[in-house]
Chain A
């Protein structure tokens, strides 16, 4: 197992998840498939990078995303009129949808804090005790008067939610603003993304 490939993936690909989610939400009509679509994109990028690292990781990821969506459209529909998404929206320049911008450590902490604050009550408490006060899971269970298994479950849940909020930006209710922005630009191409 190539460990440096893992690091590359985290550093060059995962950091763009927010932009990727915006792109997917804009281009793909079926919300419920986006999670799965994202996984497929990551798998393809990871496997390709195992052979040779792409020179421009972000562009490569977006190109992969576009190919995957086009493939799915072709497979899903026989009748041409039934376009699931809006194929034209797929032809966007990567830099238009996500201007290059690395977050400072402080901004990252801010995002983490926001992600943390969005956790459900119990989950948030477990994560505080485990992560900030650094108590072992067993201790957290004692402190909160709940079972160790429950603590473990809450840790797993917190992990998933933090990943969703921190990397994905907890995107779901942004879609409407985006649709409006599209309308204002008439053709739905390359509009600036508000953060």
Chain B
């Protein structure tokens, strides 16, 4: 049995052929036979066919654009949508910009803000003025940025509450996803992008910039990358680094005795645990590393995990804490994927499958052996 994606591919191939030249009765018969084979074929075909017929309405975008010219993406704020288009455009035709002018304007405008584009409608003069103003703004902004750049101070701190999750885009194109109950201080300078992970966990999608290394520090350790994706988590004195793309260098300040602690290179798929005892690296598949990062989409996953650790994991995200009431159950092993906001489901499943009983309080759920 073909997968749904394969079926979709075949359906689209049929439709594209029918859209082409030289579609014969023979072809139609074959297509009909394919459609009769299974409902899965039929629904895939119907869906694509409907979308294709919808796309016929894109014709409205072509009004006023000379043949053979494909307008820039997003240039449509200028080209009137059909409602205004259907109406005769007021008085004379002098006001109507020529299509090439409109397109040229679109080119000039692509870097400017959407709001301005919308405001500019279709008057070429006004448009030019806006374009000039936009350009001046861009120059000013880049001057300001350049100045800050050289002055080497662009600092901001971000924090999340328990249960919170926040995307922090950086001006260099990098993206930080801050996990629950976490705090970072971002300092961007000409020579370095520095993130101080003061508490909790964050995932970093680093934009390539070989001139400015991306450094995440936590206490006396640093995880350094040039362009990559990785996660850093801080638990008291311990640090966990997970790399899902590229290479990260893990460095430490000198040890308590003053002796050197070697730096460690972590390729994609690595899970490194750094504690006072040293750095332990577990190299596995990227897929496994990603699994540990499912918190980004709202899930946490366990794999033969002691119940005590699983509870601690839930507690990172929830104010109502799961407490292990009897030490004996803390060692039970659990597995599965859970929405971290839903500790209640987790506890209910525990009660169902394990000799565990939950005592629910306002701020805690205490787990006891049954």
User: Which residues on A are within 8 Å of B, measured CB to CB?
Assistant: 1, 6, 9-10, 14, 29, 35-36, 38-40, 42-43, 46-47, 79-89, 105-106, 108-110, 112-113, 116-117, 124-125, 127-134, 136-138, 143, 148, 151-153, 155-160, 162-163, 166-167, 175-176, 178-180, 182-188
Contacts of B21 in A (CB 8 A): 136-138
Q: Cβ of A183 and Cβ of B317 under 8 Å apart? A: yes
Which residue of B20, B36, B341, B353 contacts A152 across the interface (Cβ within 8 Å)?
B20
**Bitwise interface map of B from 1 to 19 toward A, beta carbon under 8 Å scored 1, else 0:** 0011101110011011101
Q: Cβ of A112 and Cβ of B54 under 8 Å apart? A: yes
Q: Cβ of A46 and Cβ of B19 under 8 Å apart? A: no
Given A163-B48, A178-B298; 19 other pairs, CB 8 A cutoff: A9-B46, A14-B47, A43-B43, A79-B353, A83-B345, A124-B73, A125-B70, A131-B56, A137-B20, A151-B20, A155-B16, A155-B20, A156-B12, A159-B16, A162-B54, A163-B47, A167-B47, A176-B167, A176-B298
Closest to A155 in B: B16
**Bitwise interface map of B from 124 to 142 toward A, beta carbon under 8 Å scored 1, else 0:** 0000000000000000000
Q: What are 23 of the A-B contact pairs (CB < 8 Å)? A: A14-B47, A36-B4, A39-B40, A39-B43, A79-B335, A81-B354, A83-B336, A89-B342, A108-B57, A116-B61, A128-B58, A131-B58, A132-B62, A137-B20, A143-B68, A153-B16, A155-B16, A159-B51, A163-B52, A166-B51, A179-B296, A183-B164, A186-B163
Q: Cβ of A81 and Cβ of B298 under 8 Å apart? A: no
Contacts of B15 in A (CB 8 A): 155-156, 159
Q: Cβ of A106 and Cβ of B12 under 8 Å apart? A: no
* Segment of B74-82, B147-155, B276-284 engaged in the interface with chain A: B74-82
Query: Is chain A's binding surface mostly helix, strand, loop or mixed?
Result: helix
Closest 3 CB pairs of A and B: A179-B298, A163-B51, A156-B16
Asked whether any CB of chain A lies closer than 8 Å to the CB of B55, the reply is yes
Give CA–CA (A131, B298) in the complex, Å.
40
Q: Cβ of A80 and Cβ of B17 under 8 Å apart? A: no
Asked whether any CB of chain A lies closer than 8 Å to the CB of B165, the reply is yes
Give CA–CA (A130, B21) in the complex, Å.
12
Whether A81 touches B39, Cβ cut-off 8 Å, given contacts A35-B4, A109-B60, A136-B21, is no
User: Which residues on B are within 8 Å of A, measured CB to CB?
Assistant: 3-5, 7-9, 12-13, 15-17, 19-21, 32, 35-36, 39-40, 42-44, 46-48, 50-52, 54-62, 67-68, 70, 73-74, 76, 81-83, 163-167, 177, 180, 296-299, 317, 334-342, 344-345, 349-350, 352-354
Whether A43 touches B39, Cβ cut-off 8 Å, given contacts A14-B47, A84-B337, A160-B12, is yes
Contacts of B337 in A (CB 8 A): 29, 82-85
What is the distance, in angstroms, from A159's C-beta to the closest C-beta of chain B?
Answer: 5
Whether A128 touches B70, Cβ cut-off 8 Å, given contacts A81-B336, A156-B12, is yes
Closest to B350 in A: A81
Closest to A42 in B: B43
Q: Cβ of B40 and Cβ of A162 under 8 Å apart? A: no
Q: Cβ of B336 and Cβ of A175 under 8 Å apart? A: no
Q: Cβ of A109 and Cβ of B345 under 8 Å apart? A: no
Q: Cβ of B4 and Cβ of A39 under 8 Å apart? A: yes
Give CA–CA (A35, B43) in the complex, Å.
13
Which residue of B40, B48, B299 contacts A43 across the interface (Cβ within 8 Å)?
B40
Whether A80 touches B81, Cβ cut-off 8 Å, given contacts A43-B43, A133-B62, is no
What is the distance, in angstroms, from A69's C-beta to the closest C-beta of chain B?
Answer: 14
What is the distance, in angstroms, from B172's C-beta to the closest C-beta of chain A?
Answer: 20
Which residue of A29, A81, A124, A156 contacts B334 across the interface (Cβ within 8 Å)?
A81
